[in-house]
Amino acid sequence: MAAIEASKSSTPLLKDELDIVIPTIRNLDFLEMWRPFFQPYHLIIVQDGDPSRTIKVPEGFDYELYNRNDINKILGPKASCISFKDSACRCFGYMVSKKKYIFTIDDDCFVAKDPSGKEINALEQHIKNLLSPSTPFFFNTLYDPYRDGADFVRGYPFSLREGVPTAVSHGLWLNIPDYDAPTQLVKPRERNTRYVDAVMTIPKGTLFPMCGMNLGFNRELIGPAMYFGLMGDGQPIGRYDDMWAGWCTKVICDHLGLGIKTGLPYIWHSKASNPFVNLKKEYKGIYWQEELIPFFQSATLSKECTTVQKCYLELAKQVKAKLGKVDDYFNKLADAMVTWIEAWDELNPSGASTELANGSTK
């Protein structure tokens, strides 16, 4: 019942337990604005595009940087599962990290202000979200009951008030909203100005479109599910990387009894990508989505899937069996999903495949 204390001083920094993963093809100037909040942390920069370019990291940040040559060197033939010329390459950062938590952010996302004008420490809010339980089994109408000033409402069974571990914290964006290309074309001037002061758990059995722009997750709990797919160069689709990861992650979280939260924190999304370019990337996805959603909605995993890797591999089999006929892309994607897990296990030989304490699946 008791909410965790929300005062700034009592949210742990987790500076040795959290990596910030940033994909970039341009520059990292945006880090200057984030400096007060990000400087204590280790950064993993995944440089997309031309590896001969030098990406300058602002002074004073502790970081490791990987370009395409590094990715090829480290993964060898398995590097084929990591996208090129797409921010989906960021998941390489998840794989090489050795930390418990990951926060990932796009290089066109800046610090937002709350309605009182105060700058929002997005990372701190993600940490709060990840360190407090989720409540996927019964919807709390006052949203996150563990937040300061909130609680479970009348009618919420006490047996469900302990919640489950939170695997993912999905943040939102003010200013340029995360719309698909058709919506962007119809509403080029729309800006998200509504600050919704809530965090909530996405209920079990419900899918959502996950956005990778402002995302935190517990790498130990769910890391291997966060594969951002085959996008970009040589691929028939783009801008579905984070959503693909989100649907796989949600199915697996539902199966393993883990929670996903959405809502705060907000960041300020500054750059509107070109809607015509986006339309070309998304075009096939808009049709394929209609098959993907029923697929994920009805996906079930067997009781033997007690680790994230096992869940993911079973999902990959199902992708091949059921989506292969939609397009050959899904056969390649299913293979890449397997390659991803192999690469993950190679780079993370122990600890990351923790079975849940009681091996329970719901």
Partner 1 sequence: MSQISINHDEVDIVIGALQLDLKSFMEEWRPVFSLFHLIIVKDPDLKGELEIPAGFNFDLYTKSDIDGVVGSSSNAISFSGYSCRYFGYLMSRKKYIISIDDDCIPARDSAGNFVDAVSQHITNLSTPATPFFFNTLYDPFCKGADFVRGYPFSLRSGVDCGLSCGLWLNLADLDAPTQALKPELRNTRYVDAVLTVPARTMMPVSGINIGFNRELVGPALLPAFRLAKEGNLRWETVEDIWTGMCVKVVCDQLRLGVKSGLPYVWRKERGDAIESLKKEWEGVKLMEDVVPFFQSLRLSTSAATAEDCLSEIAAVVKEQLAPANPVFARAAETMVEWVKLWKRVQTQ
Binding site for partner 1 (CB under 8 A): 1, 115, 137-143, 149-160, 170, 172, 177-180, 183, 187, 190-198, 202-211, 239-240, 243, 246, 262, 282, 286, 289-290, 293
Q: Are 177 and 137 spatial neighbours (Cβ–Cβ below 8 Å)?
A: no
Give the Cα separation of 230 and 81 in Å (integer). Answer: 7
Q: Other C-beta atoms within 10 Å of 271: how many?
A: 13
| Beta carbon of residue 240, minimum distance to partner 1 (angstroms, whole number) | 7
In the complex, what is the shortest distance from the CB of residue 115 to partner 1, in angstroms, rounded to a whole number? 6
What sign results for the dihedral spanned by CA atoms 109, 86, 273, 244? negative
Q: Which is nearer to partner 1, 42 or 284 (CB)?
A: 284
- Helices (H) then strands (E): counts for the chain: 10, 9
Tell me the closest approach of the beta carbon of residue 349 to partner 1, in angstroms. 34
Shortest gap between Cβ of 122 and partner 1 (angstroms)? 15
Strand 101-105, strand 214-218: pairing: antiparallel
CB of 205 to partner 1, least distance (A): 6
Nearer to partner 1, 10 or 193 (CB): 193
Tell me how far, at minimum, the Cβ of 256 lies from partner 1, in Å.
18
CA distances from 75 to 66, 82, 340 (A): 12, 9, 10
Q: Identify which of residues 262 and 309 has a Cβ nearer to partner 1 in the complex.
A: 262
Tally of CA atoms within 13 A in the half-sphere of 309 that contains its CB: 19
Inter-axis angle of helices 308-318 and 241-256, nearest 10: 120
31 or 181: whose CB is closer to partner 1? 181
Residue among 110 and 173 whose Cβ is closer to partner 1? 173
Q: Are residues 18 and 103 in contact, defined by beta-carbon separation less than 8 angstroms?
A: yes
Residues forming beta bridges with residue 21, ordered by sequence position: 44, 104
Q: Encoding tokens for residue 174?
A: 């003010």
Structure token pair of residue 354: 């923790």
Q: Which is nearer to partner 1, 77 or 117 (by Cβ)? A: 117
